[in-house]
Structure 1
Amino acid sequence: MRVLLLIIGIYQAANGVVMLTVPEIWYSAVPGVPETGPANIHFIRDIGLAFLAAGAALLMASRQPHDRRLIAAATIFLGGHAVYHLVEMAHGTTLTAAARDIMMIVVPGLLPLAAFLPGSAKART
């Protein structure tokens, strides 16, 4: 569990850092984002802070996996973001966009919930 939390924490925190430091590059580099409309740099940085905070919580949880509050805090944003994308997919999207969102958003956003599954208690101790 620690390794999983570490990897997802790095992934999410790195995304947040890129959104904060080079939002224009992030906007043009992430597949599907330019199709959502013109870049709003302030909004990209706001969301970058959320990714950074969630990533930091998961990184802390990787050192203290027994403290599920850290995972829960990160999952409020990451899980909510993942579910929101699933809802959008249910209202119609291309297969390519759905596959991309599942791999880049849904799986990394919901995977920390594995810490709450039965049998994961051994990993937390």
Structure 2
Amino acid sequence: MIGPPDFLDRVAAGLVWFTALLSAINGAFMLFFPMDWYDFIPTVRATGPSNLHFISDIGIAYLGCALILAYAAANLRMRWLSALAGGFWLLAHGALHFYELLTGLCSPDRFWADFPGTIGIPLLVPIAVAILFARQRVAPAGLPRSVFVALTNSLTPSESGYVHELAKAPGHALEKFMHFMPASSHRHAAPANLFSAAQIGSVLVEDCGPCALTSAQVGLADGVDRARLNAALSGGGELKDDDALAFRFGEAIARQSVEASEYGEEIERRFGRTVRLELALAAAMVRAYPAIKRGLGLTTACSVTRLAI
């Protein structure tokens, strides 16, 4: 989920915003004008006489869903689980309509007349989340433990050792760790090549070969040229201009060198304060992974790892 939101990310967020907006409008209509709502929806009369208190209650439920969905849509990649929570009641309400159709409590004509509002619109929420999941654009927090461990084994096997230990540790250690992970991969304004160079420069100082390769693989998935990543993995000597500057910046941060300030000022002069912040955050936080491995005796030195992708 590295990088700023792209077109499909915005589409997914837009679907959730749209659902939130319509839920808010319907909820407010039911809460403040229950009798008008009862008269306005033609299929409602078939369910029985009006109950103003009950209509207002349902209006509050719609407003609650709208609030949760709006919160989720503002940062859907991080808050996808909130989107599912906000859409749960709406989908359950639609499922009830479907159950009534199957049992004969609702005629097919009434079901299809209600379908756009009771089922069609709520389905936009899981569709939006599915768009993000299909492209691996979601934060890991919220994934079931077994799913996260299986994904780690498949996508980054070099990280699986300590992840398995975190999964077994008491006190929800793995869940807390999953909340930490997005901070170490936060990139919004920084160019992907600079971000990867800073991370690799930092992690090489920690002498963890698998960690360096993981950072390079993430950079490759983020669109960074393979030759640039291999140049960074080889020590940064062949990197040019901005890439070399970002690499040395990450390296200096990891070494706690006074040169970090000099490199940082030059990065800020060329790219702005936000890019400097993102590179500093990446270089500082990526060190946590080799540090955890070293503490658990799971580190493999760069000298015994082939550093190339």
State TM-score, norm by structure 2. Answer: 0.38
> In the alignment, which residue of structure 2 is the partner of 1:100?
113
Q: How many residues align?
A: 124
Q: How does 1:1-125 map to 2 (within 5 A)?
A: 1-66=12-77, 67-92=79-104, 93-117=106-130, 118-119=133-134, 121-122=136-137
- Tell me which of the two structures has the higher relative contact order, counting C-alpha pairs closer than 8 angstroms and 6 or more residues apart: 1
Q: Which runs of 5+ in 2 are unaligned?
A: 1-11, 140-309
- Structure-2 separation of matches of 1:120 and 1:58: 21
Larger CA Rg, structure 1 vs 2:
2
Q: Which runs of 5+ in 1 are unaligned?
A: none
Output the aligned Cα RMSD: 1.7
> Contact 2:13–2:128 at 8 Å: present in 1 too?
no
> Contact 1:115–1:121 at 8 Å: present in 2 too?
no
> Contact 1:89–1:98 at 8 Å: present in 2 too?
yes
Shift of 1:64: 1.3
Between Structure 1 and Structure 2, the one with more helix by share is 1
Q: Name the SS of the counterpart of 1:109 in structure 2.
A: coil
| Worse-matched range after superposition: 3-12 or 71-80 | 71-80
Shift of 1:75: 2.1
1:23-57 C-alpha deviation (Å, 9 max, x unpaired): 00001111211121111111111110000010111
1:60-107 C-alpha deviation (Å, 9 max, x unpaired): 211110212321221221111011111111123433212112212111
State TM-score, norm by structure 1. Answer: 0.89
Mark the CA change 1:56 to 1:95 in structure 2 (over 3 Å): closer, same or farther: same
> Contact 1:81–1:109 at 8 Å: present in 2 too?
no
